[in-house]
């Protein structure tokens, strides 16, 4: 498809430039490559290497082989997983290219059938990373001036100095992940309304941030983890939501080792995409990943820019 005029199947190959096509519609005459308008645009690596990298990253569930892992591809060498350095070795590219390629592939992992969760839905929050260091160079580090929305002025809590994601899981179904600014009632309520149907039966723990989300769903049940209760006795628990959280935590600790706030959404999206396809074959997961080629291209400046 021509990225300029949008015409389909009306282009001819430019003989003077390898891999370049020219639009044949009217006065358009635009020249473009086969990867124009996709996350793989302007990649210098052959497409065969890009497809091989996709195959190594996305297979999950029953199709997982010994060379793939549900925890993804890392930037450092780890046992029983496929690091980006090993990906670079297999594809005969440098580490920066392999890291860039892995982020481009994460841009492909979209869900065209996305819907809000319904039925019995469990929700739980997870703080990513370690708290900020209290002592730097032998001196106590000043605490944050802004303690976080809805924190009541306290500078401590789940989100103090860390990024927070809300994980919502439909029992027997998919998982949805949303990064929130703070583990507060306002942020949690907005995320619940965006991810969960009003008719759902919501199960959370007993933290204060979840007390005001009751009116957003048909029924809201809490489990008091503060008293070491894993269930309220009526079959309500959040163990299903804690499963994806555990896998994401193990991915950060054992595979990625460190996740910046800038790229946190990309890593959580990969984990959710992989979890939602845990029962499909490797070939099906590969084809579904290629379905995201219409995503917005990812440039090198956007990837490495501060922010």
Domain segments of the chain: what residues? 1-34, 47-110+262-304, 120-256
Binned at pLDDT 50, 70 and 90, residue 169 comes out as: very high
In whole angstroms, what is the distance from residue 157 CA to residue 182 CA? 10
Model confidence at 231: pLDDT above 90: no
Q: Is CATH 3.30.310 what the domain over 120-256 is classified as, yes or no?
A: no
Residues 21/32, Cβ–Cβ less than 8 Å: yes
What is the structure's pLDDT at 107?
A: 85
Whole-structure pTM value:
0.75
In whole angstroms, what is the distance from residue 11 CA to residue 1 CA? 8
Binned at pLDDT 50, 70 and 90, residue 145 comes out as: very low
User: Mean of the per-residue pLDDT values for the chain?
Assistant: 76
∠ CA 101-68-305, nearest 5°, is: 25
Model confidence at 158: pLDDT above 70: no
For the chain, helix (H) and strand (E) counts, in that order, are: 8, 12
In whole angstroms, what is the distance from residue 151 CA to residue 206 CA? 16
Run of H or E residues at 163: strand 163-170
Run of H or E residues at 51: helix 47-57
Within 13 Å, how many C-alpha atoms sit on residue 170's CB side? Answer: 19
Binned at pLDDT 50, 70 and 90, residue 84 comes out as: confident
Most confident of 152-156, 159-163, 225-229, 276-280: 276-280
List all residues 6 or more positions away from 124 whose beta carbon is below 8 Å from its beta carbon: 166, 167, 204, 205, 238, 241, 242, 245
Model confidence at 250: pLDDT above 60: yes
What is the structure's pLDDT at 115?
A: 92
272 or 75: which carries more pLDDT confidence? 272
Residues 254/34, Cβ–Cβ less than 8 Å: no
């Amino acid at each position: 498809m021509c990225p300029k005029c949008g015409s389909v199947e009306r282009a001819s190959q430019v003989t003077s430039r390898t891999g370049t096509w020219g639009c044949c519609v009217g006065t358009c005459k635009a020249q473009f490559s086969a990867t124009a308008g996709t996350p793989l645009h302007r990649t210098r690596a052959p497409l065969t290497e890009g497809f091989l990298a996709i195959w190594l990253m996305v297979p999950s569930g029953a199709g997982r082989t010994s060379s793939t892992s549900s925890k993804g591809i890392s930037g450092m060498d780890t046992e029983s997983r496929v690091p980006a350095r090993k990906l670079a070795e297999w594809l005969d590219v440098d580490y920066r290219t392999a890291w860039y390629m892995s982020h481009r592939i994460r841009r492909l992992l979209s869900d065209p059938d996305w819907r809000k969760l319904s039925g019995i839905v469990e929700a739980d929050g997870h703080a990513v990373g370690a708290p900020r260091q209290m002592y730097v160079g032998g001196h106590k580090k000043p605490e944050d001036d802004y303690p976080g929305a809805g924190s009541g002025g306290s500078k401590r809590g789940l989100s103090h100095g860390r990024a927070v994601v809300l994980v919502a899981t439909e029992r027997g179904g998919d998982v949805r992940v949303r990064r929130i600014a703070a583990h507060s009632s306002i942020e949690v309520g907005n995320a619940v309304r965006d991810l969960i149907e009003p008719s759902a039966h919501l199960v959370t723990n007993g933290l204060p941030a979840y007390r005001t989300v009751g009116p957003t769903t048909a029924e809201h049940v809490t489990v008091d983890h503060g008293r070491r209760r894993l269930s309220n006795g009526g079959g309500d628990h959040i163990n299903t939501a804690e499963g994806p959280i555990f896998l994401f935590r193990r991915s950060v600790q054992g595979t990625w080792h460190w996740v910046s706030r800038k790229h946190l959404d990309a890593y959580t999206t990969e984990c959710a995409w992989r979890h939602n396809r845990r029962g499909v074959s490797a070939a099906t997961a590969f084809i579904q990943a290629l379905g995201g080629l219409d995503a917005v291209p990812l440039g090198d400046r956007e990837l490495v820019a501060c922010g």
